[in-house]
Amino acid sequence: MEKLTERLLLREFTKQDVDAIAEFRRDPRYLEYYYRPPYTRAECVRFVNECIAWSKKSPRSKFQLAIADRANGVLLGDCGVRTESMERRRGDIGYELSPVYWGQGFASEAVRAILRVGFENLGLDEIEARCVVANKRSVRLLQRLGFAATERIPLGPGRGGFADRMLPERYVFLLDRDQWIERTHVF
Ligand SMILES: CC(C)(COP(=O)(O)OP(=O)(O)OC[C@H]1O[C@@H](n2cnc3c(N)ncnc32)[C@H](O)[C@@H]1OP(=O)(O)O)[C@@H](O)C(=O)NCCC(=O)NCCS
């Protein structure tokens, strides 16, 4: 899968991406809302291998794509849309950029493209995003793209890859297909 946007190329991961991922995943600015020690290189290898494995599955239920600058190929971050159940037609998204590239609209541009993958390629009806209340940049991004906060989860253990740690208050944001279609005509 490849998606071109105005400034970005979203593409599948390769093993050569590990160093760029490891570089920003130890940056304290990046780690501020993850409540964990810096990622080790071995963890980044596992992450990239998992993304590559997902890309080979058929039928495919998980897309986790590298975000590259389409002008020079530099890796800026990554984003993904996943579903645990195609029947339920509900999925979730995640996104992360190297702090070097924050504040330029790159993440919003990439997330718009990954939402299209979720609604069009995966055929989802609803996409969720969980976000720590204090992570204002992420909250602004989700609001900008039309997500609405539907729930506030109090301090407690995370889920999935976050099940090993306590997380502070989080929002559950949702965007459904109709809201997304309405927004895409306004973009
Ligand atoms: C969350 C995260 C991706 C947001 O990055 P970001 O660069 O702030 O997000 P955007 O791409 O939406 O950029 C928006 C900012 O760029 C500015 N901008 C500049 N040029 C722009 C353009 N051409 N188009 C849009 N926005 C532009 C906007 O004004 C906005 O600034 P503001 O937040 O000060 O109002 C980033 O902070 C991150 O990677 N954090 C660590 C991982 C993380 O927390 N992930 C989310 C977990 S829920």
More confident residue, 152 or 161: 152
| Ligand 1 atom 1, closest CA | 138
pLDDT digits (tens, 9 = 90+) for 37-57: 999 999 999 999 999 999 999
- Residue 131 CA: which ligand 1 atom is closest? 48
**pTM summary value:** 0.95
- Residue 34 CA: which ligand 1 atom is closest? 44
| Ligand 1 atom 5, closest CA | 102
User: Can you give the three-state secondary structure of the chain, one letter per residue?
Assistant: CEEECCCEEEECCCHHHHHHHHHHCCCHHHHCCCCCCCCCHHHHHHHHHHHHHHHHCCCCCEEEEEEEECCCCCEEEEEEEEEEECCCCEEEEEEEECHHHCCCCHHHHHHHHHHHHHHHHCCCCEEEEEEECCCHHHHHHHHHCCCEEEEEECCEECCHHHCCCEECCEEEEEEEHHHHHHHHCCC
The pLDDT confidence band at residue 185, using thresholds 50, 70 and 90, is: low
- CATH superfamily to which 2-184 belongs: Gcn5-related N-acetyltransferase (GNAT) (3.40.630.30)
Ligand 1 pocket, residues with Cβ under 6 angstroms: 30, 33, 95-97, 102-108, 131, 135, 137-138, 140-141
Confidence (pLDDT) at 166: 84
